[in-house]
């Protein structure tokens, strides 16, 4: 990741990023909002969460969705809608494939400790909308149906000013 993006992510998180390899998606304001992390951190720790949402404003908006009961509703639909369950299962497989590819590109290779484990509850549960939205943003529309649904429910978190402008204002610039 280039130094400007790394600094933006550090500012967003309020700490150094743990092993992020690349920006997986940019907010409409231009800032990184999702980073991709290989399946093993530099200290050797297995890390199943490929896509990590870094934008604090998006994360706050998603937290509101999570507290609304949306995850419970999604999980109920997963149990009763075979087409949704199949699409969510395909999202899980896509996530695993994308993580394996990043593991290869980054020289980490296969990480057996996280084999078959994706994130966010996939493929049978809904545990974290932050991860599902991050996957939807990074992979694009149509890959993760529940991530797409949560993303469509969010306000435009980058308005009326960008996250970078909020940071500059906070710093007194």
Question: Where in the chain are the domains?
Answer: 3-157
Q: Would you say 16 and 10 are in contact if contact means Cβ atoms under 8 Å apart?
A: yes
* pLDDT category of residue 171 using cuts at 50, 70 and 90: low
The string of pLDDT tens digits covering residues 124-143 is: 999 999 999 999 999 999 99
* List of long-range contacts for 41-47, beta carbons under 8 Å, 24+ apart: 46/111, 46/113, 46/114, 47/18, 47/19, 47/114
Q: What is the pTM of this model?
A: 0.91
């Amino acid at each position: 990741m280039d130094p400007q993006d790394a600094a933006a992510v550090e500012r967003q998180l309020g700490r150094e990023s743990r092993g992020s390899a690349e920006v997986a998606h940019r907010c409409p304001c231009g800032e990184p909002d999702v980073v991709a992390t290989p399946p093993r951190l530099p200290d050797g720790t297995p890390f199943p969460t490929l896509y990590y949402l870094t934008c604090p404003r998006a994360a706050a908006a998603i937290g509101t969705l999570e507290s609304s009961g949306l995850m419970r509703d999604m999980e109920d639909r997963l149990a009763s809608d075979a087409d949704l369950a199949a699409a969510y299962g395909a999202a899980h497989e896509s996530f695993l494939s994308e993580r394996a590819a990043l593991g290869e590109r980054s020289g980490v290779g296969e990480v057996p400790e996280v084999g078959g484990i994706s994130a966010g509850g996939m493929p049978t549960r809904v545990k974290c909308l932050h991860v599902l939205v991050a996957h939807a943003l990074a992979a694009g529309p149509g890959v993760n149906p529940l991530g797409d649904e949560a993303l469509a429910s969010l306000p435009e978190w980058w308005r009326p000013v960008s996250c970078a402008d909020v940071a500059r204002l906070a710093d007194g610039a």
